[in-house]
Amino acid sequence: MAHQSCVVSHPPPYAPLRHHQSQHHNRNNNNNKNNLVQFKYPTLLLPRTHHHNASASASNLFGFPRLRRPNISLNALDSDAPDPHHQGSVNFGRNESYQQWDSLTAKFSGAANIPFLLLQMPQIILNARNLAAGNNTALMAVPWLGMLTSLLGNLSLLSYFAKKREQGAMVVQTLGVVSTFVVLAQLALAEAMPLPYFSATSVVVVSGLFLNFMNYFGLLNAGIFRLWEDFITIGGLSVLPQIMWSTFVPYIPNSILPGAISFVIAVLAVTMARSGKLSEQGVKFVGGISGWTATLLFMWMPVSQMWTNYLNPENMKGLSAISMLLAMIGNGLMLPRALLIRDLMWFTGSAWATFFYGYGNIACLYLSNIISKEFFLAATAGLVSWIGMAFWRDSVVHGYSSPLTSISDLVSGS
């Protein structure tokens, strides 16, 4: 229950719009002044703050003008707003159901902390026991480079969700940063991770947590936060190709060339965006790199795992079915929220991890006769039911006749 106290349910992200352009119209139509309705699909990726909030200026990655919500005032003639004489109408109920679903999806997102915490705790406890017993060699089996990559992904997504004011997702990413850092600290104590690398990682972790939460509460200068975003953009874009390349070694030559090339490209892209030498579309593209590279890093994890399973089927006996189930549940809990706020990047990453990392490895374990048929069928039924419920409920609160419309909105960014 303690983790749920960190989740603060937002009001519906599509709040009533009242703009100064509509004031003259409202003076001439006093009877319609209470008929302003919810604008269903404003521009996403904007923090839910007022324009004078200091943190709002930090949400613009390279200091260019932010996208603004359309200056539109809709009255009852132009919308499906409830008739004031029929408060029990279907449309009024739809708005209320939206608020309830908005609150529930925020709680689901926050509840993902439970399976993710359970997913990491066994490794932390095992490492602590080996350290206490003086068995430092056992910690050599934990790949510190892979843990470091995961840490960078968590930090990047923390910045992304902090700007979006998604508190539940922020807590999940913060938990990922802290738990991964604890494992790295254990590896450093066992001398399984070089001390200089751990020292540099410690500085990045402390700085990242401090800057993200200072920015979230509007206490950070926008220029400082842009420097941090530049750092994670360059870091993420440099690491991703190198990790992808290294997965297939020794079938391809071992080389640092992919990472080096990506680093140069990332530095040039950030420099050109900051200096105003890119088009508006180019600036938007560079501004979204850090979030997408972090998502792709996590998406690559199941690819790497399944490639390992293919090469060494016997190693699958060491794969925990419970861990894969927890990964499936944790990512699956965030899907309804990502779908509701029409966040394609968040939805893509969570869906990929749910189906390919969690459920995909459960399927591999079943096909290898490592888990029972009952376990596999229960996981399948639970996943299908949850995904079906999420799409059905989303279509209901938006008044759609088909869940396919929700998918269309998600892809188009409506």
Tokens 């600036």, residue located:
283
Nearest by Cα to 3 from 251, 196, 171: 171
Largest Cα–Cα separation, the chain: 81
The answer to pTM > 0.75 is: no
- The two counts, helices (H) then strands (E), for the chain are 16, 0
The answer to whether residues 34 and 85 touch, using CB atoms and an 8 Å cutoff, is no
Q: What angle do CA 36, 39, 45 make, to 5 degrees?
A: 140
C-alpha distances out from residue 116 to 132, 180, 191, 395, Å: 25, 11, 26, 28
The answer to whether residues 361 and 377 touch, using CB atoms and an 8 Å cutoff, is no
Measured CA to CA, the distance from residue 220 to residue 218 in angstroms comes to 6
| Dihedral of alpha carbons 122, 124, 128, 130, sign | positive
Could you tell me how far CA 57 lies from the centroid of its own chain?
Answer: 21
The pLDDT of residue 35 is: 41
Three-state SS string over 288-355 comes to CHHHHHHHHHHHHHHHHHHHHHHHCHHHHHHCCHHHHHHHHHHHHHHHHHHHHCCCHHHHHHHHHHHH
Per-residue pLDDT of the chain (414 residues; tens, 9 = 90+): 444 333 333 334 333 333 444 444 444 444 444 443 333 333 333 334 444 444 444 444 334 444 443 333 333 233 333 333 333 334 444 578 899 999 999 999 989 989 988 888 888 888 899 999 998 888 887 778 778 878 888 888 898 888 888 888 899 899 989 999 999 999 999 998 999 989 999 999 999 999 999 988 888 888 898 899 899 889 888 888 988 888 888 888 989 899 999 999 999 999 998 888 888 888 888 888 877 888 888 788 778 777 877 787 776 776 788 888 999 999 999 999 999 999 998 999 899 989 988 999 899 889 989 899 999 999 999 999 999 999 999 999 999 999 899 999 998 875
The tokens of 392 are what?
């059905």
